[in-house]
Amino acid sequence: SAVSGVNVEGCAALTETKAIVVADAETQQVTTGKVEVNLYVANLVNGLKEVQILFYDNATNTWSVIVPTKVDFATKQLSFTKSNT
């Protein structure tokens, strides 16, 4: 499996892999600290259970599962908070 350390059996991808880099809007310098990320997911449809985010951390070279802090089926957006190192 391309994903190690996380059980993804029975899961289905709703979107393609996305790279997320958090940068200061003015300086374009990569920032660190806790950030809230909002994602639009076109296939986020009402009735899905246990929506989770499969996250790869480049700093630690590990996969993890993140539970979104917000799932909005009407706008097809989900949010999560992650420490950016």
Dig out the tokens for 17 from the structure.
């892999």
Among 1, 10, 7, 2, CA closest to 64: 7
Burial (0-12, 13-18, 19+ Cβ within 10 Å), 79: middle
pLDDT digits (tens, 9 = 90+) for 37-78: 899 999 999 999 899 999 888 778 889 899 999 999 999 999
Structure tokens at 62: 């590990």
Amino acid, single-letter form, for residue 36 = E
* E-state strands within the chain: 33-40, 53-57, 62-66, 70-72, 77-84
The whole model's pTM is what? 0.78
Task: Please tell me the predicted confidence (pLDDT) of residue 78.
Answer: 95
Q: Is the model more confident about 68 or about 4?
A: 68
pLDDT for 84 beyond 70: no
